[in-house]
A and B are shown apart, each in its own frame.
Chain A
Amino acid sequence: MMRVGLLGCAHVHAAHYVAALRAGDIGARAVALYDPDSEQAAAFAAAHGLERATDAASLCGAVDAVIVVSEHSRYVEMVQSAARAGLPVLCEKPFGASLGDLRTLLATDVWCSVAFPMRYAPPLVRAKAMIEQGGLGELVAMSGTNRGSYPGGFFGDRARSGGGALIDHVVHVADALYVLSGLEYETVYAEAGRFRNVGDVEDVAQVLATTTSGAFASIDSSWSRPAAMPGGLDFQMTLWFERATLHLDGMARRGLVVAADGSIDYEEYGRGVNEAMLSAWVRAIESGAAPPIPALDGARATELALGALRSAETGRVVDLAALR
């Protein structure tokens, strides 16, 4: 049984990963946690039955691998702690809260996979296999959405998150399009706004990027859905190819549950994407393989998100090559 430690627990996915490791037959368990915010650490450790380490180095000494799920602004120090201990890492997205962080993470000598679980969503896996056969022709354009509600916590605090809806959700669709098409991004433009006034970050955002092949790709990453909306989190992509159009819904594998009072909810069925991602991560570590989702892929998608943030602030089209 692989012993997994958490570096930080502020991210909403920390609890999801602990639960997925516990529920699945992945061969790994979350056992310990280090978070510099001791109150936060105590509450999370108690809720999930984890040991608490007093610092990052002692956590790394007690486990076989780590998952970085802290505030975005701490990713660099957390990944570097794991690097010093020679431990394999799963780093939550985005891959850096700033361009500086992104460069530092890329330059860090560490076995690091990036958390893009939507790569494992069955409709995307099926689409990738179909696209690779080549019959659909070149990509003409893509329109995607990854909308949700405001996650709360540090996400609304720019100093710790790096940004709002643009930093939280652009990367998933950006990575999915790269995985499906192999296309690189060239420019990005974005409009963003604050309509619910959560923290000091943008909560609505629409991105319109181009690829080096001349296709366009749009991503709605807004926290536009009401907090209590059943099934509010979405992940959809329409891909126009020369010879066909593909509609993908990464959240479609769920059933509708209607309670006696008429309230509705959705229940995911089948193997979840987090479980599939963690399983692939554990297998790669055990077999000595390369990280399933390499740092460079994390950097590519994150660069698009950070470029979009800059565009929204300056009102200009951002040339992504100029950011490197």
Chain B
Amino acid sequence: MAALHLATLLEAPGVRVVGLAAPEIDRSLAKIMATREIEEMATEALLAPGALDAVVIATPTDRHSELASLAVLAGAAVFCEKPVTRTLAEAEHLAALAARFRAKVAVGHVLRYFPEYEAARRQVATGRIGTVGICRLLRANTSPVARRPWYGERARSGGVLLDLAIHDLDWCRWALGPIRRVFARASGPEEQRVVAVLARHTSGAISYLDASWRAGHFDSRLEVCGTEGIYCAEHSGDAGFCLVPVHAEAASYLPSEADGSAGVDDPYRRELTEALAWFAGGPAPRAVLEDGIEALRLALAAEESIAFGQPVELEDPR
């Protein structure tokens, strides 16, 4: 995500990129840094008090809490990739710190900016499909573990629930309201885990999600059923586009491209642009710290349900 966010920052009017801190810099990032003369800096120097106005955090999940806290202490606004932190204790600590320093913290729940999910929420909000009874979602991807081994350590990444399922749980909350109960099951090895999450909204609506790190390629779907109609959509990023190589091992010679949806609808650019506008005094973006924390609570409740084999009631669902 770092290269994508950096590209947005470089195009954003009124934004100067001071520097970038990372333990490892991959090829795509190195190329942008070289051509745009971006300085590589130590974390301590970058997050020194008063050094900058805002920070984008796109590290492995287990570092979000420490870096976001440092940024808040340094007086910077924060855009943090989802999940907001790895644990609820970290999230609550960050919330207390942000409240004390009146810091703005936006969270990268990008699904709120994907056009098919915006449209789905609109069908609900305008009453076009009536009262929602049940909603079914799917999010499947290839396992990220081989390329980025930290994803395979649940203590660091939170696994498939905090990588994939948290997107849909956040969207369900955003579109269908608070969730009061979660039940979940999981199967398969950690690096190719399949999870099923069943959520009950305070409205009475039911949401069901299949999420897995076991797919051959990325796939997402949703169907929302209401008393007056249903809305169904599949992944907008691949809508109308399908490239099939002649040879199975062809990946090496095919032209590479970023996520297709980034090119057309730019949900990643829009979420960060809205956060930057908020930092500059504009209205809040769609997902702020409280939303990030609620989504984390839901994903962790699902993990707890899996561990104990029982439904988990959410206290004070928001």
Contact = CB atoms under 8 A, between A and B. Distances in A.
Interface of A: 140-141, 143, 145, 187, 189, 191-193, 195-196, 203-206, 208, 210, 214-216, 218, 220, 222, 224-226, 229, 238, 240, 245, 315-317
B215 A216 contact: no
A204 B183 contact: no
B317 interface: no
Contacts of A220: 134, 136, 208
Interface stretch (B7-15, B57-65, B100-108, B193-201): B193-201
B310 interface: yes
Interface string B179-215: 0010111111000001010101000111010101011
Contacts of A187: 309
B133 A210 contact: no
B128 to A, nearest CB: 13
9 contacts: A189-B183, A191-B206, A192-B206, A193-B205, A195-B132, A206-B134, A216-B194, A240-B214, A245-B214
Given A222-B134, A245-B214, A315-B311, A195 B204 contact: yes
Interface of B: 131-134, 136, 181, 183-188, 194, 196, 198, 200, 204-206, 208, 210, 212, 214-216, 225-227, 229-230, 309-311
A-B complex: 6 closest residue pairs judged by Cβ atoms = A195-B133, A224-B225, A216-B185, A204-B134, A204-B133, A141-B187
A224 B187 contact: no
A145 B135 CA distance: 12
Given A195-B134, A222-B134, A224-B225, A206 B206 contact: yes
Given A224-B134, A224-B225, 6 more contacts: A189-B183, A195-B132, A203-B133, A206-B208, A220-B134, A317-B310
Q: B interface, by DSSP: helix, strand, loop or mixed?
A: strand
A210 B185 contact: yes
A208 B185 contact: yes
A195 B229 CA distance: 12
A229 B136 CA distance: 18
B208 A216 contact: no
B311 A224 contact: no
Given A196-B227, A204-B133, A315-B311, A214 B200 contact: no
Q: Which has the most chain B C-beta neighbours within 10 Å: A189, A192, A206, A316? A: A206
Among A192, A215, A224, A226, the one with the most B-chain Cβ atoms within 10 Å of its Cβ is A224
A215 B186 CA distance: 8
A204 B188 contact: no
A189 B309 CA distance: 10
B198 A204 contact: no
Given A210-B185, A216-B187, A141 B311 contact: no
Nearest to B212: A240
A316 B308 CA distance: 12
A216 B196 contact: yes
Given A206-B208, A210-B185, A216-B187, A143 B196 contact: yes
B131 to A, nearest CB: 6
A225 B196 contact: no
A224 B223 CA distance: 10
A226 B230 contact: yes
Contacts of B229: 226
A218 B210 contact: yes
Contacts of A203: 133
A140 B229 CA distance: 34
Given A195-B227, A208-B196, A225-B225, A238 B187 contact: no
A204 B310 contact: no
Contacts of A145: 136
Given A206-B134, A216-B187, A193 B204 contact: yes
A191 B196 contact: no
Contacts of B311: 189, 315-317
A189 B312 CA distance: 12
Contact of B206 (A204, A229, A238): A204
Given A193-B205, A226-B230, A245-B215, A141 B131 contact: no
B183 A193 contact: no
